[in-house]
Structure 1
């Protein structure tokens, strides 16, 4: 078993490290690659599959993924373009702003179902937003106990900024319970919104 540690490495470093490990093989071997985001998982998997490897992957924890590659031996030579390409950034300069833990007005229980569905739908977009801002009641969605944590962590792993208003977390007494993303302030919220090419508000 060969382990390639690419935690914290930016593209294309995880692909390069993995390719070097594959090229050094002298016979059948299994390579485990550790990375900290889903884009790296996809890039490494794509390269390894193209090189004849049998590839599987799993999420080990928050920002921790493992790609397992079973090789029969060293791969045939690849071009730089084939071996070290990165997937294009799926984000654009859209900012999503979430100001409540429910969507719309009327029935609160329905509103909570709708906001959960909304956040899941964002994960399915072909082009992801650059940033999602949470403030006022929306701040609770990034904290422990939120039904949307897994979807938000998936978005963060793909490069989407998850930012929650610190004043709001303080007001609700939840600053120590933030479970995804980072704490931000009103100036940064205004700055992100002002610089956005598109703003989506559920």
Structure 2
């Protein structure tokens, strides 16, 4: 029977995602990943090269999926607030991307993997933000997106800090979501207003 290469890769990526999310790059073990996937560990070296390259593949796969699952839709500050709310909801259900990004930042600093693909994804998000808020600069669009990502990614990876600062009463997640959406709306509205000033001054 022919070996199902794509299925094997998928099993390894799934097992590796769980391992890296839980233990990071340094703490992850190839033996555990292979055992979880039910695959000989030699397949990891054959398909991905080494643990670092496997981590790269996991991050690129997770972030590419996120691009498709949570798009920016509509126009105006409401669109950006809506995007933040949906991203927050996504991360509450699946904290894969936030955990991987936090581990990447802690262990690799400014080193970026999958650079061409990720640069294209980021450029696409910036373009969508500019389309939602016509007239804003690329830098402002990037800053707004970083703010949104930081707010939404922090929620599932800093639960202890959230509890210490804001308590753990019922409805805490809903209140945190509302705070994120409100913050993003106000920031987007300020950028939209600022972008209209030159046009208003010329009129």
Structure with more of its chain in strand, by fraction:
1
Relative contact order (alpha carbons < 8 A, sep ≥ 6): 1 or 2 greater?
2
TM over 0.5: no
